[in-house]
Structure 1
Amino acid sequence: MKIVKIETAKVSIPLVTPFKTALRTVDSVNDIVVRVTTDDGNTGFGEAPPTAVITGDTQGSILSAIQEFIAPALIGMEIENLDGIMKKLHGCILKNSSAKAAVDMAVYDLFAKSCKKPLYKILGGGRGEIETDLTISVNGIEEMVNDSRKAVSQGFRILKIKVGKEGRTDVERIQAIRKAVGPDIKLRIDANQGWSAKEAVRIIRTLEDMGIDMDLVEQPVNAHDFEGMKFVTSQVYTPILADESVFSPEDAIRIIGERAADLINIKLMKTGGIYEALKICSIAESFGIECMIGCMLESKISVSAAAHLAAGKGIITRADLDGPSLCREDPYTGGPVFDGPKIFMNEDPGLGISKVPAFGDCWNKIK
């Protein structure tokens, strides 16, 4: 299976409700989808969201990176030469992690198809089912409480609460949500870099003193403030999850070595795809540090790739893969089944995605 073509297309999928964090407000998924075709007619799919405030990638930069640098470097290479492809992918252009991720997952899709197995089994997977949380966007307290109650009524047992805009009000938000959903629902608090280190400690300690149990607090301070992360982690009982602070295996080594966080959040758009994410998994496993698998504002293609990674790696103990649940519609056929909080892995080869309307009525050759 030799790569003969790498194509891109734009997709726009409306969200059920606007997605609001301390960094941005978005009302639709506007991603780039990728199709890699081999000389025997098989196709692999990938996806990249433009998340300029986190990765620095825009639609234009993703398209340019793929069309001008990545495609010329990879066309003509054999899919079975996976390591060689990944070295070319990551060496042909610096940064541009989202563009690399989209092509990476399409190549892994094809590689698993060449083995005639679902990707998660190629990655070592024994889990056929994953449970994800659901994100509650930062809004007024009453609206966040109502959104939380609705999520619980839909079967979600884990809520990811977006905060980070106003410290005192953030405490009130979390307190009100905990009271509304009861003690059995897990709360993950995501500040999206919105607090200073001292503010984060004050807020988390206040919540702990109130008896509000939290599964974790995600990225309380600026991504580059490793000292601040270390300070917060050392001063509170609640586990601290590093997200924007960890893009690469080198970042993971630093976070773990400096004891700057208790957990690591892996996102394919930060790592540049599955290849580098697997390195972070190995590093974390070596030190006994559990990981969460997360996503940006992505639709089913790239979230499916993340789900396959999660199902394949036992060190990934938490999932924040609610992207498809936030979308008003699912334009794709095949792949894992996203049923509320449950993700059921497919047994079709590769990612299992069989139809992507952005490329017309194209169906994968291998069934």
Structure 2
Amino acid sequence: MKIISIQVNAIHLPFKNPFTIAYETYKVMPSLILKMETDDGLVGYGEAVPDQHVTGETWESTLSNIKNYLAPVVLGENPFNIEKIHDKMNAVLHYAPTAKAAIDIACYDLMGKVAKQPIFNLLGGAYYQSLSITHVIGMGTNEEMIKEAKSAIDQGYSELKIKVGNTPREDVQLVAEIRKAVGPKIKLRLDANQGWKQTTTALQALKELEKYYIDWMEQPIIAANRVGLAELHQRTSIPIMADESIHGAEQLRELISLNAIDLINIKLMKCGGIYPAQQLVHQAQMAGISCIIGSMIESSISTAAGAHLALSKKNVVANELGSPLIFSKDIAPMMYKKNKLFVPQQPGLGIQVNEELLKRLSIRGEEISSSL
């Protein structure tokens, strides 16, 4: 079996409502949907959702990287040769993990379809039966965020992630009001997306936040300041999670050596796909660090890929794979019930892509074919 063609559709996924974090407000989410075909007629799907603030990749550069560098070197390969495929991609293009993730996910989709198994069975089998979803609340006014928190609880969610990153005083007031509104039993997680920037600013906030029973504090300061994360880790009782600070094995090794974190947020778009994400899970487990599977706000394709990984790994203690719920249109259905995501049991990713809707949402397309 050989890969003979790769098609990429550049699309905009529309949100039901604008989504705001510390560094950006999104009205649509730019995404690249990759369709990989083999010489025996099988099709696998992948996705790339770049974020220039995190990996330095843009929508346009990711499309170019796939077309001009990555697709040509994987044409003719067997999708099961995933380590070799990553090695070939790394040889022609340094970094660019989001572009590589799209190819990686499509390869796994094909592997599962050939083996007639869902991807999680290729990763060690199901450790969990279903996944509890954390509801993520984007930045807004205190009143808007409290209203959304209450609504999420009414819908059955028991885990909330609150986007912060204003001044410490504003963020502490917000968390105090949300904790009062939802009660003591609801799990609260905070994410500043580097918004507090400096260690001293973050420490001011964390000292005040300790009394509100926070599960963990995600990326309070700028990504490059890993020494600063270590200082925070040593001076607060709130567990510290790295997101933008951890992309691959090298950053994780540094964070482990600094004793800087309790948890990491693994995103397929940051690390290059399922294959390198598995390695991060195992590396973290050896160091006693827990993992969550996050999202760059992705369609059902990458969401399904992350879900298969999360379902199969004991060291993945939570996930944020609810992005399809906040789009007004998505290219394939996923099964959610209250706060649960039920991972597809069909071969590969296990989802059925709506090709007609994909065409309607497409802004640009590219196809790279082989004569093999």
- State the TM-score, normalizing by the size of structure 1: 0.94
Residue 348 of structure 1 corresponds to which residue in structure 2? 346
Distance in 2, matches of 1:89 and 1:132, equals 33
Amino acid at match of 2:279: K
Q: Secondary structure at the match of 1:84?
A: helix
Q: Does 1:22 align with 2:45?
A: no
Q: Quick one: distance in 2 between partners of 1:149 and 1:17? A: 17
Give the equivalent residue in structure 1 for 2:8. Answer: 8
How far the C-alpha of 1:359 sits from its partner, in A, is 5.6
1:32-78 residue CA offsets vs partner (Å, 9 max, x unmatched): 10001001111111111131111111111111011101111000011
Q: After TM superposition, give the deviation of residue 87 of structure 1 in Å.
A: 1.4
Q: Please identify runs of 4+ aligned residues in structure 1 that moved more than 3 A.
A: 358-361
Q: Return 312-321 or 88-97, whichever deviates more.
A: 88-97
Matched, 1:140 2:113: no
Distance, in Å, in 1 between the alignment partners of 2:125 and 2:90 is: 25
Matches within 5 A, 1:239-250: 239-250=239-250
| Mapped partners of 2:222, 2:317: distance in 1 | 25
Letter in 2 for 1:304: A
Deviations 1:305-346 (A, max 9, x none): 01111111111111111211221233315xx52334211011
1:237 aligns with 2:237: yes
Distance in 2 between residues matched to 1:139 and 1:359, nearest whole Å: 31
Mapping of residues 219-230 of structure 1, within 5 Å: 219-230=219-230
Report how far residue 135 of structure 1 moved.
1.0
Which of 205, 208, 222 in structure 2 is aligned with 1:206?
Answer: 208
Identity %: 39
Trace 1:96-175 onto structure 2 (pairs within 5 A). 96-126=96-126, 127-175=128-176
Determine which structure has greater relative contact order: mean sequence separation of CA pairs < 8 Å that are 6+ residues apart, divided by chain length: 2
1:315 paired to 2:315:
yes
* CA–CA separation in structure 2 for the residues paired with 1:316 and 1:4: 35
Which segment is superposed worse, 145-154 or 338-347? Answer: 338-347
Asked if 2 retains the 8 angstrom alpha-carbon contact of 1:45 and 1:353, the reply is no
Could you say which residue in structure 1 is the equivalent of 2:89?
Answer: 89
Which whole-Å CA distance do the structure 2 matches of 1:194 and 1:355 have between them?
36
Tell me if the contact between 2:207 and 2:236 (Cα under 8 Å) persists in the aligned partners. Answer: yes
5+ residue gaps, structure 1:
362-367
* Residue identity in the other structure for 2:120: Y
Structure 2 unaligned segments of length 5 or more: list them. 361-372
Structure 2 residue aligned with 1:365: none
Alignment of 1:295-306 (within 5 A): 295-306=295-306
Going from structure 1 to structure 2, the CA distance change for 1:359 and 1:158 (only over 3 Å counts) comes to: closer
Task: List per-residue Cα deviations over 1:212-271 (Å, max 9, x = no partner).
Answer: 101100001100001110111100111100100000111111111211111111000100
Q: 1:40 to 1:237 in 2, by over 3 A?
A: same
SS of alignment partner, residue 11 of structure 2:
strand
Superposed, 1:73-84 pairs within 5 Å as 73-84=73-84
Q: Is residue 197 from structure 1 mapped to residue 199 from structure 2 by the alignment? A: yes
Alignment of 1:41 with 2:41, yes or no, is yes
CA–CA separation in structure 1 for the residues paired with 2:338 and 2:15: 15
For 1:35 and 1:132, the matched residues in 2 are separated by 28
Deviation of 1:83 (Å): 1.9
Q: Aligned equivalents of 1:294 and 1:262: distance in 2?
A: 16
Q: What do the CA deviations read for 1:7-40 (whole angstroms, capped 9, x no partner)?
A: 1002222112211111110012221100010011
Q: Does 1:71 align with 2:71?
A: yes
Tell me the distance in 1 between the aligned counterparts of 2:168 and 2:329.
35
What does residue 364 of structure 2 align with? none
Distance in 1 between residues matched to 2:92 and 2:338, nearest whole Å: 39
Query: Contact 2:261/2:289 (CA < 8 Å) preserved in 1?
Result: no
Q: SS at 1:215's partner residue?
A: strand
In structure 2, the residue matched to 1:364 is none
> SS where residue 192 of structure 1 aligns?
coil
Give the C-alpha shift of residue 140 in structure 1. Answer: 1.2
1:250-293 CA deviation, whole Å, 9 max, x = no partner? 11111112111111110001001111111111111112211011
**Which residue identity does 2:199 align to in structure 1?**
A
**TM-score, normalised on structure 2?**
0.93
